[in-house]
Structure 1
Amino acid sequence: MPYTTDPETVLNFPILVGDIGGTNARFAILVDSYAEPRLYPVLRTADYASIDEAIQTQILDRTSIQPRSAVLAVAGPVDGDEIDLTNCDWVVRPRGMIAALGFSDVVVLNDFEAQALAVVALDAAHLERIAGPAGEVSGSRVVLGPGTGLGVAGLVRARHMWIPVPGEGGHVDIGPRTAREIAVFGHAETIEGRMSAEQMLSGHGLVNLYRAVAAADGAEPLLAGPAAITGAALSGDDATAKATLDLFVTLLGRVAGDLALIFMSRGGVYLTGGIAQKILPALKNGLFRAAFEDKAPHSALMRTIPAYVITDPLAALAGLAAYARTPARFGVETRGRRWRSV
């Protein structure tokens, strides 16, 4: 494992690491490079006016440790000194955090960049293989997760480092392939006439899909919320919910397969987030894998690529902690994404 004393690379301990999603925020403090992360309770972003308030009241006011550095992963593109989160009202202002919270160094990454880092930080106990053979040890990987939105990131190996590739892949186009899907898609809610993957493959996307399936079948949509839909589908209590979840995992497999081809991810495709963890039985029923491999003329290639579910709900924190401990192990580009006190 490479170590470095390059001041342009290393971060000073203690280090606050934070995973800021659209709904929840998770934090931990690394006291030094050998200590296990000191975890704090999960926070609901809607309960705090700003990220600064959440960190001050729920982290800094509850410990005698003063972090010198912060590494934060946020749900949205990192561009400029004011970073808007895609599905949350918080705005991350690193210069303001340095002034108000006492940090000397702040690094802000994309949330799925942190999930990509986690893929090589987690042990086998937190990875459930749902299909395919074991992946190549140094093979490229893809991480995607339906949640508040649909996060996507790649991870490639080059120059003896793992290099995360963040992006907004959840907003690619998605469309129907069968007569049944054409009927369902015709009832689904779009964004300015466009159907993105996130419109189907996320928490609100699952509700969108459920209502569309009900409309296509002339049924009454009686369930509200993704948890109710997945619960009724897995228990078999609601035929519309079951049909919805079947279509959901099929579409997820199709998009996951597309991303595997784009990244040539011989190291595997990794599904993360609460939805994937809760619908694990449905992901193993064959529909996901059939759609994943249905990529003629490359179906044989697809059969060699494994798919996993990340079962650790704190995976992003594990990825951030791995990077914070040994930045030289990862090719993380920090230009325009790292702020320091003067």
Structure 2
Amino acid sequence: MTEGSGTLRFPILIGDIGGTNARFSIVLDANAEAGEPHIVQTADYETIDAAIQAAVLDRSSVRPNSAVLAIAGPVDGDEIPLTNCPWVIRPKVMLRDLGFSDVVVLNDFEAQALAVVALGEEHMEKIGGGAAVPNASRVVLGPGTGLGVAGLIHALGHWIPVPGEGGHMDIGPRSPRDFQVFPHIEKIEGRISGEQILCGRGLVNAYRAVAMADGKAAPFTKPAEITAAALAKSDAVAEEAVSLFVTCLGRTAGDLALVFKSRGGVFLTGGIAQKIVPALKAGNFRAAFEDKAPHSELMRSIPVYVITHPLAALAGLAAYARAPSLFGVETEGRRWRA
């Protein structure tokens, strides 16, 4: 059955399940930090249950009573598919086969939003803007296997994450150069969404589109190759692709900041953002972020941060696991008990 909010029985298994990697840890009690992380590639295991059994339960003397899992995809029903991974989350099967008494399933960017509250400034790199307004709305977005987006609002004494599918909003050309490049970007059912540019495969799409627009070769096939060549200034096509990526990320981040009026800040998370901090500081990110007339003055005041903590979502989940009452996380329909 499903139930609403309430405390969870320790120890608690926490898990951040992305399209490529799954990260697990155990929180022993209400005063404990997350334990040693167990990181696996989703492709190495047929199911999430097999991954939890092999990577965590078989390697630990601690038997978790509860599980809080953050997944890359919307949470709906008793069988929850991931957007960019063939795994399907079946909480009732987990209760039966893995020995949990409680399973809570959240959206992965809810966990990233919780991390914004849980992490200190030592885990953030600021990309321009003024001072964050305490308790003002915030936005989290992260290009990774896909493009994750969440809002974070403060109301009635709680931080409330607002999950969504903002990574699939339309994104379009603005500059003359955009109109040369965008026709070559791969479409999904006739349209270009944020994820077609602002994620790992999206960066590859942008790189190929830039090359095609100029009739040049595009030898790189992996996002890491493109970012490395761009930062080393060894490949002009890669440089332009990363510049386009950064500009589009600034535009999208600015749009979301307007939606939430996020004077508490915009937070970029995930490995790609961490790797391209020099490119994000080059100027075109802030220019695109602030180019939102008639609200450019508001946009100039909003700070942007890159979250540099390598396991930010686990930190957010650990904070939630220790004290669910501090957060306005609705678990109706997303919590299963034995």
TM-score (norm 2): 0.98
Which string of whole-angstrom CA distances, capped at 9 and with x for unpartnered residues, describes residues 205-241 of structure 1?
Answer: 0000000000111111121110000000000000000
Once residues 301 and 94 of structure 1 are traced to their aligned partners in structure 2, the CA distance between those partners, rounded to angstroms, is 44
SS in 2 for 1:318: helix
Q: In the alignment, what sits opposite 1:176?
A: 173
Q: In the alignment, what sits opposite 1:287?
A: 284
**Which of 81, 84, 89 is matched with 1:92 structurally?**
89
Q: In the alignment, what sits opposite 1:233?
A: 230
Once residues 256 and 330 of structure 2 are traced to their aligned partners in structure 1, the CA distance between those partners, rounded to angstroms, is 22
Once residues 102 and 219 of structure 2 are traced to their aligned partners in structure 1, the CA distance between those partners, rounded to angstroms, is 50
Q: Work out whether residues 147 and 202 of structure 1, in 8 Å CA contact, stay in contact via their aligned partners in 2.
A: yes
Q: Work out whether residues 139 and 157 of structure 1, in 8 Å CA contact, stay in contact via their aligned partners in 2.
A: yes
Task: Write the letter of the residue equivalent to 2:88.
Answer: V
1:247 aligns with 2:255: no
Q: In the alignment, what sits opposite 2:257?
A: 260
**Which of 8, 27, 47 is matched with 1:50 structurally?**
47
State the 1:41 CA deviation: 2.8
Task: Write the letter of the residue equivalent to 1:81.
Answer: D
Q: Work out whether residues 142 and 259 of structure 1, in 8 Å CA contact, stay in contact via their aligned partners in 2.
A: yes
State the 1:8 CA deviation: 4.5
Once residues 272 and 217 of structure 1 are traced to their aligned partners in structure 2, the CA distance between those partners, rounded to angstroms, is 32
SS in 1 for 2:207: helix
Q: In the alignment, what sits opposite 1:195?
A: 192
Which string of whole-angstrom CA distances, capped at 9 and with x for unpartnered residues, describes residues 80-121 of structure 1?
Answer: 000000000100000000000000000000000100000000
Task: Write the letter of the residue equivalent to 2:285.
Answer: F
Once residues 16 and 290 of structure 1 are traced to their aligned partners in structure 2, the CA distance between those partners, rounded to angstroms, is 42
Q: In the alignment, what sits opposite 1:4?
A: none
Q: In the alignment, what sits opposite 1:66?
A: 63
Unaligned runs of 5+ in 1: 1-6
Task: Write the letter of the residue equivalent to 1:140.
Answer: S
Q: In the alignment, what sits opposite 2:267?
A: 270
State the 1:37 CA deviation: 1.2
Task: Write the letter of the residue equivalent to 2:305.
Answer: Y
Q: In the alignment, what sits opposite 2:80?
A: 83
Task: Write the letter of the residue equivalent to 1:20.
Answer: I
Deviates more, 1:19-28 or 1:133-142: 133-142
Aligned alpha-carbon RMSD (Å): 1.1
Once residues 136 and 328 of structure 1 are traced to their aligned partners in structure 2, the CA distance between those partners, rounded to angstroms, is 23
**Which of 279, 300, 305 is matched with 2:302 structurally?**
305
1:10 aligns with 2:28: no
| Percent of paired sites with the same residue | 68
SS in 1 for 2:178: helix
Once residues 275 and 87 of structure 1 are traced to their aligned partners in structure 2, the CA distance between those partners, rounded to angstroms, is 17
TM-score (norm 1): 0.97
Deviates more, 1:225-234 or 1:127-136: 127-136
Q: In the alignment, what sits opposite 2:114?
A: 117
Q: Work out whether residues 20 and 145 of structure 2, in 8 Å CA contact, stay in contact via their aligned partners in 1.
A: yes
**Which of 286, 304, 321 is matched with 2:318 structurally?**
321
Q: Matched residue pairs, number? A: 336
Once residues 131 and 28 of structure 1 are traced to their aligned partners in structure 2, the CA distance between those partners, rounded to angstroms, is 34
Q: Work out whether residues 33 and 318 of structure 2, in 8 Å CA contact, stay in contact via their aligned partners in 1.
A: no
SS in 2 for 1:303: helix
Q: Work out whether residues 140 and 267 of structure 1, in 8 Å CA contact, stay in contact via their aligned partners in 2.
A: yes
Q: In the alignment, what sits opposite 1:142?
A: 139
Q: Work out whether residues 40 and 59 of structure 1, in 8 Å CA contact, stay in contact via their aligned partners in 2.
A: no
State the 1:134 CA deviation: 1.8
Task: Write the letter of the residue equivalent to 2:297.
Answer: A
Once residues 239 and 70 of structure 2 are traced to their aligned partners in structure 1, the CA distance between those partners, rounded to angstroms, is 34
**Which of 326, 330, 334 is matched with 1:333 structurally?**
330
SS in 2 for 1:39: coil
**Which of 36, 41, 46 is matched with 1:39 structurally?**
36
State the 1:68 CA deviation: 0.6
Once residues 65 and 39 of structure 2 are traced to their aligned partners in structure 1, the CA distance between those partners, rounded to angstroms, is 22
Once residues 246 and 40 of structure 1 are traced to their aligned partners in structure 2, the CA distance between those partners, rounded to angstroms, is 34
Deviates more, 1:227-236 or 1:215-224: 215-224
Once residues 194 and 36 of structure 2 are traced to their aligned partners in structure 1, the CA distance between those partners, rounded to angstroms, is 33
Which string of whole-angstrom CA distances, capped at 9 and with x for unpartnered residues, describes residues 126-170 of structure 1?
Answer: 111111112111110000000000000000000000000000000
1:156 aligns with 2:161: no
Task: Write the letter of the residue equivalent to 1:209.
Answer: A
Once residues 92 and 10 of structure 1 are traced to their aligned partners in structure 2, the CA distance between those partners, rounded to angstroms, is 22
Unaligned runs of 5+ in 2: none
Q: Work out whether residues 121 and 318 of structure 1, in 8 Å CA contact, stay in contact via their aligned partners in 2.
A: yes
After the TM superposition, list the runs of 4 or more consecutive aligned residues in structure 1 that deviate by more than 3 angstroms.
none
